[in-house]
Amino acid sequence: MSDRRGLLIILSSPSGAGKSTLARRLRDWDPTIRFSVSATTRKPRAGEAEGKDYHFLSEDEFKRQVAAGEMLEHAHVFGNFYGSPRGPVQAAIDAGRDVLFDIDWQGAQQIRNSALGQHTLSIFLLPPSIPELRRRLESRGQDSAEVIAKRMQKSWDEISHWDGYDFVLVNDDLDETEARLKSIVTATRLRRSQQPGLTEHVRKLQAEFEEQS
């Protein structure tokens, strides 16, 4: 067994608050962190690749996988289905690797309440202000005005679930948020429940202690 158990790191925020940017920075910092590649029924955006950004599925295939228990969690967001495939997550966790999820509050809640809940670290990102959130959404230049208006509306719903998370970061200065995120991950990896080798280590300490005295 690996000397540490993998963490399920959930990063949620209203769309545009900086999840993808911070997720990338976290993985640049520690390349052993796996991204959970979600499945979705939405159409790919320009530049998005199958299997890298998402697994793009038909609605029928998505529903089949949910019915077969192949999704760790799933939700309906902006009129499309999204879900986290279970297999790759379990394999990574068993190998002592952390898995990073960019999912909404519904998915975060389902994972927290699942058998893997005790190995979950959930972090919510808030924008410094609503005008700044709009500016960031527009600066991505990927969505139409109509889609942006819908996302702003939906942001309110997402923000209202901020208090269900372990940690909350206001993503104002990006470098500072990144530093805080890394501190949180570093500390949580040291939770007793993440270190299965501790019992054995203390047993060894005890044997050494008794031998000495």
Distance from the Cα of residue 147 to its chain's centroid: 23
Contacts with ligand 5GP by CB under 6 A lie at 15, 38, 42, 73, 75, 77-78, 82-84, 102-104, 106-107
Q: What is the DSSP letter of 46?
A: T
Write phi, then psi, for 83 (nearest 5 degrees): -160, 160
The whole-angstrom separation of Cα 122 and Cα 168 is: 9
Q: What is the number of the residue whose Cβ is closest to ligand 5GP?
A: 107
Q: Output 23 or 116, the one with its CB closest to ligand ADP.
A: 23
Q: How far is the CB of 77 from ligand 5GP (least distance, A)?
A: 4
The whole-angstrom separation of Cα 128 and Cα 150 is: 20
Binding flags for ligand ADP, 3-22, as an x/- string (CB under 6 A):
----------x-xxxxxxx-
Q: Output 107 or 127, the one with its CB closest to ligand 5GP.
A: 107
83 binds, among ligand 5GP, ligand ADP, none (CB under 5 to 8 A by kind): ligand 5GP
Q: Which residue has the tokens 């527009």?
A: 138
Residue 207 lies near ligand ADP (rule: CB under 6 A): no
Other CB atoms within a 10 A radius of the CB of residue 145 amount to 8
Residues 177-196 that bind ligand ADP (CB under 6 A): 177
Write phi, then psi, for 72 (nearest 5 degrees): -65, -35
Residues 122-181 that bind ligand ADP (CB under 6 A): 136, 139-140, 171, 174, 177
The whole-angstrom separation of Cα 138 and Cα 16 is: 9
Given the rule CB under 6 A, which residues bind ligand ADP?
A: 13, 15-21, 136, 139-140, 171, 174, 177
